[in-house]
Amino acid sequence: MPGYLFKQESIAITGVESLQIRSLLDRQQFADPLGEAEALGISSAFWPLFGLIWPSGLHLAEAMGQRLLREDESILEIGCGLGLASLVAHRRGALVTASDCHPLAAAFMLENLRLNELPPLRYCHGNWAPFDAQAIPSQRVPRVQGRFDLIMGSDILYERDGEGALPQFIARHALPRSEVIIIDPNRGNRSAFSKRMALLGYRLEETVLKSAPEAEAYSGRLLRYWRE
Across 218-223, average pLDDT: 95
83-117: per-residue pLDDT in tens? 999 999 999 999 999 999 999 999 999 999 999 99
Q: How confident is the model at residue 210 (pLDDT cuts 50, 70, 90)?
A: confident
46-57: per-residue pLDDT in tens? 999 999 999 999
pLDDT at 163: 87
134 pLDDT above the threshold of 50: no
Across 174-196, average pLDDT: 96
143-177: per-residue pLDDT in tens? 999 999 999 999 999 988 888 999 999 999 999 99
213 pLDDT above the threshold of 70: no
18-53 per-residue burial string, b: 16 or more CB within 10 A, e: under 16 = ebebbbbeeeebebbeeebbebbebeeeebbbbbeb
pLDDT at 216: 73
pLDDT at 141: 84
Q: How confident is the model at residue 79 (pLDDT cuts 50, 70, 90)?
A: very high
Domains and CATH numbers, the chain: 6-227 (3.40.50.150)
Q: Quote the mean pLDDT of the chain.
A: 92
pLDDT at 162: 84
pLDDT at 2: 79
199 pLDDT above the threshold of 80: yes
Could you give the CA distance from residue 181 to residue 209 in angstroms, rounded to a whole number? 13
Q: Are strands 16-24 and 6-13 parallel, antiparallel or unpaired?
A: antiparallel
Q: What is the dihedral of CA 196, 83, 52, 61, to 10 degrees?
A: 80
Q: How confident is the model at residue 39 (pLDDT cuts 50, 70, 90)?
A: confident
126 pLDDT above the threshold of 90: yes
More confident residue, 130 or 38: 38
Q: Give the CA count within 13 Å in the CB-facing half-sphere of 209.
A: 26
Crossing angle (nearest 10°) for helices 84-91 and 55-66: 20
Are 153 and 139 spatial neighbours (Cβ–Cβ below 8 Å)?
A: no
Could you give the CA distance from residue 143 to residue 162 in angstroms, rounded to a whole number? 24
